[in-house]
């Protein structure tokens, strides 16, 4: 076993070695990518404006008493081209980010384009008060600019990811830690080459292991500054969630002076809210790490969303639900269509949750409460399909209308399992501060079925403390695609 002290100067093996990076070249690549993104946004804005003008006055799809000249709108377009880079920059759309969720990207672009249009209209009123522009044409330009800029940015991100996957503009990264979390971080890095992380090796906190998954342990915590200098590291990922505050500050202090990024894998049971913000106590700053999002009017907004979307879903899905009911009776005539099961909801109160029956009658008669598993022999043939596609959950819209559940929230569990989990998992019962949901933040991140209850709880607690109407809509939108790719649905 090689000692940590001797590992500090250990060479990186050929499998992970790279030629000496050129900082100037990497900086130039970053500038080119950012510049190309800005120019692409402007190009898409011009294309959207021209296309909107053609649709309004040249396509013949809309009646126009008077065909206004394109020249009359040039000043409006020029103002938009001047304002949009400023608004986009203020909205953070030009900050370097490695990954974006599609819905988050859409929301950011929608907001930025709306602000730009509003400012453009206000400024245009002062520039030319007499010009009566077409409101339909402006509305078309607004909608098309959102669509085209979004498509342009998706294409730009795809090209950037392709380049990063081939080492262009990638960052050399070391992982602090050698345990399971550190190995998980490495696996995610290797599975996501488009993010542009090039792993160099590990830094060990305690053990004197020589390598982890084929990557060298370059030294210990005391050697981290030398490791960064020797291997020209760009980013450090601290994958030791049990570190004390002093130990973490010590690591950050050792990295000080180097122009590197530092990311920390958090202990989610210590910091439940990811959006830490600052409150003011008469001039005294206080760090707010816990908050209750669903209070006051937010409760009314969430309930209104549940009722409107829940009623609409029941109406639209009623033919499908009737078909499923008939198929259940045809394929398994010996039992009821619906399965009613006690679950734990808001404030720990039990309620009866509805599902389409997917298992044989009296499936737990001999075993008592047991966890569903892959290839579960208790499922009927049609029930296997229902569970895989989550169609067995459709009757829970009735629970939503009745007020027992919400569309989005922590997944409700049975009292038998809740009692077990609350004894072993920190803060588990905190997830019952809000109504249980048909879908949730944990589910859309792959945490359903036989997955870690600890991770599920952490995701549920994050949702409870960070709720917004937009977050609910995003979760509902992403839930539509889960049945087609969820490997944990059984």
Q: Could you give the CA distance from residue 192 to residue 224 in angstroms, rounded to a whole number?
A: 25
Q: Could you give the CA distance from residue 169 to residue 155 in angstroms, rounded to a whole number?
A: 18
Strand ranges (E), 208-358: 211-212, 215-220, 235-238, 261-264, 277-281, 284-288, 338-344, 350-356
Q: Could you give the CA distance from residue 383 to residue 334 in angstroms, rounded to a whole number?
A: 14
pTM value is 0.59
Say which CATH topology domain 4-19+170-288 has: Rossmann fold (3.40.50)
Is 399:314 a contact under the CB 8 Å cutoff?
no
Nearest CA among 229, 230, 231, 222 for reference residue 254: 222
Q: What residue segments make up the domains of the chain, in order of their start?
A: 4-19+170-288, 23-165, 297-484
The DSSP code for 283 is T
Contacts of 213 (CB under 8 A, 6+ apart): 183, 186
Tokens of 155: 């294409």
Nearest CA among 16, 17, 18 for reference residue 26: 18
The per-residue pLDDT string of the chain (490 residues; one tens digit each, 9 = 90 and over) reads 333 443 444 444 433 333 344 556 666 777 788 889 999 999 999 999 999 988 888 777 876 666 677 777 788 888 889 999 999 988 888 887 766 677 778 888 999 999 998 888 887 777 666 656 778 888 899 999 999 999 999 999 888 888 887 777 778 888 888 877 888 888 888 888 888 888 888 888 776 667 777 788 888 888 888 888 888 888 888 887 777 777 778 887 777 766 777 888 765 545 444 455 555 444 555 555 555 556 667 788 889 999 999 999 999 999 999 999 999 988 887 788 998 989 998 888 999 999 998 887 766 666 666 656 666 667 788 888 888 888 989 999 999 999 999 999 998 888 888 888 888 887 788 788 888 999 998 888 877 766 778 888 888 888 887 888 888 988 998 888 775 555 555 4
Is 436:412 a contact under the CB 8 Å cutoff?
yes
Q: Could you give the CA distance from residue 290 to residue 273 in angstroms, rounded to a whole number?
A: 6
Residue that has been written with the tokens 């002290």 in this structure: 5
Is 407:310 a contact under the CB 8 Å cutoff?
yes
Is 204:220 a contact under the CB 8 Å cutoff?
yes
Q: Is 140 helix (H, G, I), strand (E, B) or coil?
A: helix
């Amino acid at each position: 076993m090689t000692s940590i002290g001797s590992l500090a100067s250990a060479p990186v093996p050929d499998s992970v070695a790279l030629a000496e990076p050129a900082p100037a070249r990497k900086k130039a690549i970053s500038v080119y990518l950012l510049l190309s993104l800005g120019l692409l946004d402007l190009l898409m804005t011009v294309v959207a404006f021209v296309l909107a003008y053609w649709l309004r006055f040249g396509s013949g799809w809309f009646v126009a008493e008077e065909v206004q000249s394109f020249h009359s709108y040039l000043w409006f377009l020029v103002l938009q081209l001047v304002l949009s880079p400023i608004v986009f920059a203020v909205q953070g759309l030009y900050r370097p980010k490695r990954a974006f969720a599609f819905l988050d990207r859409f929301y950011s672009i929608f907001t930025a384009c709306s602000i730009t249009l509003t400012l453009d209209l206000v400024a245009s009123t002062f520039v030319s008060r007499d010009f009566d522009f077409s409101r339909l044409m402006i509305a078309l330009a607004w909608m098309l600019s959102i669509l085209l800029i979004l498509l342009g940015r998706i294409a730009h991100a795809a090209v950037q990811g392709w380049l990063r996957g081939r080492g262009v503009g990638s960052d050399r990264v070391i992982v602090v830690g050698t345990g399971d979390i550190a190995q998980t971080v490495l696996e995610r890095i290797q599975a996501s080459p488009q993010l542009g992380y090039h792993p160099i090796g590990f830094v060990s906190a305690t053990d004197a292991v020589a390598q982890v998954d084929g990557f060298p342990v370059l030294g210990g915590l005391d050697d981290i500054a030398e490791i960064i200098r020797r291997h020209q590291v760009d980013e450090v990922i601290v994958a030791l969630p049990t570190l004390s505050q002093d130990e973490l500050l010590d690591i950050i202090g050792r990295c000080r002076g180097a122009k590197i990024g530092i990311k920390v894998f958090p202990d989610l049971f210590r910091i439940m809210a990811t959006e830490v913000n600052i409150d003011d106590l008469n001039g005294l700053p206080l760090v707010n790490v816990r908050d209750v999002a669903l209070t006051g009017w937010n409760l009314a907004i969430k309930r209104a969303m549940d009722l409107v979307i829940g009623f609409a879903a029941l109406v639209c899905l009623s033919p499908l639900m009737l078909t499923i009911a008939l198929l259940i009776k045809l394929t398994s005539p010996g039992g009821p269509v619906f399965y009613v099961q006690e679950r734990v909801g808001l404030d720990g109160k039990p309620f009866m949750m509805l599902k389409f029956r997917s298992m044989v009658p009296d499936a737990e008669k001999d075993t008592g409460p047991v966890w569903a598993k892959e290839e579960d022999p208790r499922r009927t043939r049609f029930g296997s399909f229902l569970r895989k596609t989550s169609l067995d959950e459709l009757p829970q819209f009735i629970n939503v209308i009745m007020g027992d559940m919400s569309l989005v929230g922590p997944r409700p569990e049975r009292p038998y399992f809740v009692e077990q989990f609350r004894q072993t998992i920190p803060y588990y019962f905190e997830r019952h501060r809000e109504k249980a949901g048909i879908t949730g933040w944990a589910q859309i991140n792959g945490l359903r079925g036989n997955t870690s209850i600890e991770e599920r709880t952490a995701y549920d607690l994050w949702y409870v403390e960070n709720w917004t109407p937009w977050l609910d809509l995003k979760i509902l939108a992403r839930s539509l695609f889960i049945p087609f790719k969820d490997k944990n649905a059984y």
